Each structure stands twice: as C-alpha cells, then as structure tokens.
Amino acid sequence: MWKEKFIQYLRVEKNYSSLTEISYLEDLTQFEEFIIGEKGKDNAFDPLLTDSDDIRVWMSYLMEQGIKPRSVNRKLSAVKSFYRYLKKKGVITQNPAEAVKGPKVAKKLPSFVNDPEMTKVIDDPLEYSNDFRGYRDRFLIELLYLTGMRRAELIALKDADIDFSACTLRVTGKRNKQRIIPFSDATKAKIKEYIAVRDAEIENKSPFLFVKEDGEPLYPKLVYNVIHNHLNSIPTLAKKSPHVLRHSFATEMLNNGAEINAVKELLGHSSLASTEVYTHVTFEELKKAYQYAHPRAKK
C-alpha cells in the first residue's frame, strides 16, 4: 500500500517522469521481495520492522549477484527516498536508511591528450582551412591547451582581459570568481598575431577575443564542434570535448614537475580534491612506463 502511495507522490507532487517511476517501483519491489524472503514472511512487507542491518544485507546480496556499485547506489537511493517519504507522512519515526552508505564507485580517470599528439593537432596545416576561421580555430585550441581554461571562460575572454606588459590573462570562472593566468613571451606573440589577423579580416568590431566571421562572440556548441572535429584525428581518444584540453593541460603540468597547488590555482579549483584526480592520471602513466620499460615487469 505505502509503495503505491509513494509512487503516486513521485508522480503528482514531485512531477517525476514515468521512466523514473518505473525505475523506483522496480527497485522497491526488489527490496521488498528480498526483505520478505529474509524475514520468512509469505506476502507482507512491514516498513516498521525493517532496520539498517536489513538494508545493508540487501546491498551485500546485490553486490554478490554482480550488480555494479553505481547500480546498487541507485537502488539504495530509491529506498532512502521511500523511507524519507514514510517519515514525512508519520508512518515511521526513524529512517533506517538514513545512515546507510552505498559502495564506493571507482572514479573514471579523465581523458587527456599527451603533448606529442597535441602538437600534431595544433601544428598540422592540413587540419585547418586557409582563412580566418581556420586561423581562429587553431589558436583557440592552442590557447585552451596552454592555459587550461574552461570553454565558458574562453568564450567570455575579452581583449581588455589581456595584460601584455605582465603577460597575464584575467579569467572569470564559476560564480564570477576571477583568477590570473600567466603566459609566455612566445604566447604573447601568438596572441598579438591572432588579434592582428582578426582585426584585418573582421569588419564588425567586438570586445571579445574570439569571434565568428560576422564579429559576434562564439557560443558553446560552436567551440565544442571545433575541438571535437580536430580531436577526431586521435582515434584512441575516448572523449573529444573542450574539457579534454583542460585535462591535458593539468596532466602535462604535473608530469613536468608543477606543484599541485599551483595547478589548482591555474585551473581555478576551489578545492584541492578536484585537482588531485590528475595525480591519479600521472601515476597511471608512470605505471604504464614501468611495465613497458622494465625487463622483468611482465614476467
């Protein structure tokens, strides 16, 4: 009875989709059937008689059946939502699922491009059209790789954000938080060269550094398509999004001896934990190098 009322609550008050309803219903039905079997009852499920240990035993059973941690966590989320609903309705006074933690899900390591491959993408003249758009696309990719900026940060970048005397960019990140990214003299020359080409080719002037052929600023999908199309030349790359260039920047910085706190500041991460994922990437690369190079590593 309470299970059906909960599903109705999801539909009417929470406005969940029919697919989500079906998913919740299946997960809760599996949970009820397991508890009934464990308690030795024939056809009754009483939420008042279920405790945290019952839920943990159910989760262990799911893991033993080969259910992946991500799926177990999804099922646990459905059970937690159900018991929160029962507590809200006054059916129970204590939520047995509240303190139950799901299994840890292994974090996927971010996709990245190593420097030799990135150099081929940037420097191959056959990759780009022989006009302003081709020139812009090439420099756009290179600047993302050189700075680790986010796509939105690059789109918002204006000429006024460039300090050529100090060789720095003022970048506005998430929650309008600004940070300063340094660049080299070689990059300064490339920025100035790009601006000269842009100003000579584009009639409609704009405060934005990167623009379309009509002088209007870029938009997210355009930037995504540019990067995706050019990273397609690397068939082994799992993902081909703008964020891959950010991952590549961070990975190369750490691989070449940069301090993790410095990389954190350059990326604009609020927490060091967000940056630490790249140390796992570099460690995986170290393991590969060891297994490839050491004569007894494969024996």
Is 21 part of any domain?
Answer: yes
Q: Render each residue's pLDDT in the chain as its tens digit; 299 residues.
A: 788 889 889 888 888 888 888 999 999 999 989 988 887 655 677 888 889 999 999 999 999 999 999 899 999 999 999 999 999 989 888 889 988 999 887 777 788 999 999 999 999 888 899 999 999 999 999 999 999 999 999 999 999 999 999 999 999 998 789 999 999 999 999 999 999 999 999 999 999 999 999 999 999 999 999 999 999 999 889 899 999 999 999 999 998 889 999 999 999 998 898 898 888 767 666 667 667 765 666 65
Q: In this structure, are 139 and 249 located in the same domain?
A: yes
Enclosing domain of residue 249: 115-293
154 found inside a domain: yes
Of 53, 88, 123, which residue sits at a domain end? 88
Could you tell me if residue 95 is inside a domain?
no
Q: Between the CA of residue 294 and those of 172, 255, 281, 286, 288, what are the distances in Å?
A: 45, 20, 20, 12, 10
153 & 219 share domain: yes
* Residues 174 and 234 occupy one common structural domain: yes
Catalytic residues: 150, 174, 243, 246, 269, 278
Specify if 22 maps to a domain.
yes
Please give the Cα distance from 156 to 175 (Å, whole number): 13
Domain shared by 281 and 134, yes or no: yes
Q: How far apart are CA 63 and CA 74, in angstroms?
A: 13
**pTM for the complete prediction?**
0.65
Residue 100 falls inside a structural domain: no
Does residue 123 lie in a domain region?
yes
From residue 212, give the alpha-carbon distance in Å to each of 27, 32, 206, 239: 49, 58, 10, 25
Q: What is the CATH number of the domain that holds 84?
A: 1.10.150.130
Could you give the number of structural domains in the chain? 2
- The torsion defined by the Cα of 191, 242, 132 and 188, in degrees rounded to 10, comes to 10
